[in-house]
Amino acid sequence: MLAIFDVDGVILDSMGYCNNISERYLLKNNITPEKNLSDKMFSMSFKQGSEYVAKNYPIDKSAETIKIEILEGLKDFYFNEVGLKDGALGTLKFLKNKNIEIIVATSTDKFLIEGAFNRLQITDYFTKIYSPDTLKIPKSSIEFLKTILKDYKINGEDAILFEDGLYSVINAKKLMINTVGIYDEASKKNREKLKREADLYLDSLKDYRGEFL
């Protein structure tokens, strides 16, 4: 069995910060963001989000420059501030003790995840990090998870996805991947939908008891 973990909102308590990063960036540049911008950005990579801002707002900067400036703030947050979500470390220890391979499937750039994991001393629990900047595939695409299954030469039934994002759970279900939906305050508006779609729904990772192993 392969355990696939989303990071933001599942392992790291980062969604509150990340969800509003584009709004904060625009306001810093004296531009009023549209209503529900964070909802549009939720499933985007930083590259996609930067391209959206460059295309849709009157800002005299390239998408690449916008991405670099946003990443500067995020780097400080991931490298120095973000903490673990409740139950994350216990679940990682539980799976490792059962010799389950654990990998990451995230929409966040790989170097940010590595920076946070190194500081929090959890790097050794994971064997690989899949991210849009390394795969060149957006996490919102079903091809993202298909690539993971192909790399490990397994069927969906042989994997478990721990995820707070509704779109990823829906994609995983199409591939027959076992899904564990995790509550996060930043995505609470999709809580009932996530409950319906996920094979198992938990308010916290501390409630995980080895289902689907």
Map out the domains of the chain as residue ranges.
Answer: 2-14+83-207, 16-80
Integer angstrom CA distances of residue 98 from 4, 17, 89, 101, 182: 15, 33, 14, 9, 21
Helix, coil or strand: residue 160: strand
Residues of the chain short of pLDDT 70, as ranges, are: none
2-14+83-207: CATH, from 3.40.50.1000, 3.40.228.10, 1.10.287.610, 3.40.50.920: 3.40.50.1000
Beta strands in the chain (DSSP E): 2-5, 101-105, 128-130, 159-163, 178-182, 200-202
This prediction's pTM? 0.86
pLDDT tens digits, one per residue of 39-82:
788 777 778 889 999 999 999 999 999 989 988 888 989 999 99
Given a contact cutoff of 8 angstroms between Cβ atoms, the answer to whether 16 and 186 are in contact is yes
pLDDT at position 106, please? 96
